[in-house]
Homo-oligomer: A and B are copies of this chain.
Amino acid sequence: MTNFPWNRRHIISLEDFAPSEYESVLKTALSFQDVLSRRNKKVPTLQGQVVANLFFEPSTRTRSSFELAAKRLSADTLNFSPGSSSLSKGETILDTAKTYLAMGTDLMVIRHKGSGVPATIAQEMDRLGSGVGVLNAGDGQHEHPSQALLDLLTICNALNPKQPTIDDLRGKKIAIVGDILHSRVARSNLWSLTACGAQVHLAAPPTLLPKAFIEAFSQPIRTGSRSVQRQVFVHWQLEPALKDADFVMALRLQKERMSAHLLPSLREYHQRFGITRDRIQKCASTVKIMHPGPTNRGVEITSELMDDPHLSLIGKQVASGVAVRMALLYLMGGSKNGDLSR
């Protein structure tokens, strides 16, 4: 098996990811999808290494996905849960991370409600010359790279099941609908999808999508000698975003937004921005529906669409998550080990 080029110790943000890096993640994840279709889904790649899941913000879905990815690479896992932790005893986050480093952690997967925490820990790990890789599993409203990368794998698999590549995305229209402003999933997807040449159309009420939002995404993407403009469009109505869309990605609506008066009610949100069978008539005939989960059934998407196996990619996203996270842990920590399919 081929190894794909990789030069990154940490995965914190997709902002500066090059197309070739997306391709390496995609190809490595595809190899692991093959492994996952076997009865014995384990490979010895990270045997004897320690992956610490430091989830300062509680999570079931993402933590389980990373834990399973690590176990399938034969790593030992340590789970940090903030409830019963030293944090309540006044320890700083950096000291917690250094404690896990000192115990012999090789890779740290970090989720925190504060934007920038994984980057700060990565910096400290480098300053100490530790060689430990840090993977951002969601930091505040900043980024959630592994979610965007599993979305990428899911989309490429849908576009070209036989031989998916990131080039399949070129010129495709992808609508991202919902609470863009507070979404780390949207931010990471904006970097990855535009870098692969897709057009991203954002749709949300103005309170959840200020005009200034897309300024951040106005710098061009450099690919070798070429420099290409990112294609991001803002809509305060749903219809123009859905028109001819190849993929519709609904974001999870946090109920806290109501109490902050950013939204009148779940019902009104669904009436204006909910994805329904009626509304997706305007999409491309091959449109697929996505959601990072967990969903509020009947709010972001009708229950009936969610369960339509021809339309919904939601289950495939979760499945892609394990393969992509195996790929990321492998690329960050295991590439010295040689053949990843053994």
Contacts and interface: CB of A to CB of B under 8 A. Distances in A.
Interface stretch (A56-64, A155-163, A236-244): A56-64
Contacts of A50: 41, 68
B86 A322 contact: no
Question: What is the interface residue range for chain A against chain B?
Answer: 35 or more
A293 B91 contact: yes
Nearest to A35: B48
Contact of A319 (B49, B58, B89, B102): B102
A293 B94 CA distance: 13
A260 interface: no
A7 interface: no
Q: What copy number does this chain have within its complex?
A: 3
A76 B72 CA distance: 8
A84 interface: yes
A14 B53 CA distance: 34
A6 to B, nearest CB: 18
Contacts of A102: 315-319
Interface stretch (A183-191, A213-221, A294-302): A294-302
Contacts of A285: none
Interface in A72-107: 72, 76, 78, 80-81, 83-86, 89-92, 95-96, 98-104
A296 to B, nearest CB: 5
Interface of A: 36, 38-42, 47-50, 58-61, 64-65, 67-68, 71-72, 76, 78, 80-81, 83-86, 89-92, 95-96, 98-104, 252, 255, 293-297, 315-319, 321-322
Q: Which 9 A-B pairs have the closest CB atoms?
A: A40-B48, A58-B84, A102-B318, A91-B294, A86-B294, A60-B85, A102-B315, A42-B48, A71-B76
